[in-house]
Structure formats: structure tokens, C-alpha cells
Copies of this chain bind each other. A is one copy, B any other.
Amino acid sequence: MSQSPHSLRQMIRAKQHKGATAGLAPSFVQVNVVVIPEQYAYHFLQLCQANPKPCPLIAVSDVGGYTFPEIARDADIRTDIPAYQIYEKGQLCETRHDVVDIWQDDFVTFLLGCSFSFEQALLDNGITLRHHDQGKNVSMYETNLPLKSAGVFGGNMVVSMRPMRAHDAIKAIQITTAMPRVHGAPIHLGSPELIGISHIEQPDYGDAVTINHDELPVFWACGVTAMVAVKAAKLPLAITHSPGCMLITDLYNHQLFY
């Protein structure tokens, strides 16, 4: 029996779960977390607005706020994520399990949709996922597709790739079109070279998976894009979730349709 998002957040807060959240409370939306000083918040908001496929904004906090009562009851952003990464001037300097003692009154928190939600919708429609079947992380790649830049934020899009037969690829496009708040429809399928990926067998993030001869690689915009943009902006201080260690919300995945 799967636990509720609320009880999982309580466990995480108590440091009883410090790792990846994939597969936990699978009916519920998990989100990417970006925390940056107010000074850069407007530009980051612009980045999300201009690039909704890689950076689908689910919620943004008030300045200094660390709660999202409407989508995660009693949650505290400072403690309810299993692992955080602390960046100083674009350099990862620390991974930790809470950020209470380094919290600043000028922090703004952004929650961005994550592919876990649409993956669940694909599974619920009978589409299997190779990285699940092979017990791996999804393959992710840097592309040559430029973001629309906003202030200090810019760079290229990062994509995730799932191999599928054409019939399933078409169905996956139909399903994810209806979920724009979690990356929406794929941005490419077929030849990886056309979006600047030279070595499909060597992902830049995550793991390589088998692509069968009767399958097409299908590419979705990926939330890692935002992490890379934040890192490249070399802010004095920025906090993100650690890859795969997401905030679990109270929103059902099906609430993200349309």
C-alpha cells in the first residue's frame, strides 16, 4: 500500500528517507524545486514563461515563503525534500538534507512540473518505459535548441528520451499534449542529430537504454534544463533539489490534464 504524500513528507522531514522519490505515491505530482534570491526571481519567472515546455511552472512562493498550502499541506520547502544541492556562483558546493540554517528572507521558491507525472499517464495507457524495465534512470541529453533567454538565464534545452514503437509514440504524443504543465508534447522524435545529439548511446545525464530497431527515440523537454540554466547563471547562491529527489505534492497527476 502506497503512503500518502503528507506522510511521506513527514518521513522525509524526519530524515527517514533521504533518497530518490521515483515510485513513491505514484498517483501524485512530484516537482522540481529551484530556490533563488529575489533579485533574480523576475528573470527566472520570465524564463519559465518564455520556455514553458522545459520549465513548466506549477507554483511560485512569496518572497521568503517556504510553504505551498494549496498543493502540499503543511509542507516546508526547507525540510521536506530528501536531498538539496547548494550552488555558489554556479559551483555545486554541498549536498544536504535540509536547508533550515541557510535559509534567507529574500529566497523565492519555484516548483516546476516533472516527467514522473506524464510517465504515470503513459504507463496507465499501456505504454511501457524502457528505463523502468531496465531499472535505470531516464536518458537525458543536452541539445542545440536555444532557450528564449531572460536576464541572466539562458542556454540550450535539455531533453529526456524514451524509445518507443511508432504506434506508442503517436499515443504518447496524444497523451502528453494534454499535460502541458509537465512538459507537454515531445519536442522531437527520430534522428537525434537533428537536435544536436551526436551520441545517443552516451547520455549527458541519467543512463543509456536499449533502442530497438523498430523503435524511434522520442524526446521531451526536461526539467534539468532549469537546473542547468540556474547553474550557468552563476548566482551568488542557489538551491535546487538533488536530481531524482523531488518534492511530493498533494496534487493528483490527473489534475494536470489540460
A residues touching B (Cβ–Cβ < 8 Å)?
A: 165-167, 169-170, 173-174, 177, 185-191, 194, 214, 216
Among B165, B177, B190, B214, point to the contact of A216 (Cβ < 8 A): B190
5 shortest interchain CB distances as A-B pairs? A173-B173, A166-B188, A174-B177, A190-B216, A166-B190
Other 11 A-B pairs with CB < 8 A, given A166-B190, A173-B173? A166-B189, A166-B191, A166-B194, A167-B187, A169-B189, A170-B188, A173-B174, A174-B177, A189-B189, A189-B216, A191-B214
Residue numbers in B under 8 Å from A177 (CB-CB) = 173-174, 177
Residue numbers in B under 8 Å from A173 (CB-CB) = 170, 173-174, 177
State A173–B189 Cα separation when bound (angstroms): 12
State A25–B226 Cα separation when bound (angstroms): 47
| Closest chain B residue to A219, Cβ basis | B166
State A170–B190 Cα separation when bound (angstroms): 11
State A177–B191 Cα separation when bound (angstroms): 23
Q: How far is the CB of A72 from chain B (nearest CB, A)?
A: 31
State A189–B216 Cα separation when bound (angstroms): 9
| Closest chain B residue to A177, Cβ basis | B174
| Closest chain B residue to A214, Cβ basis | B194
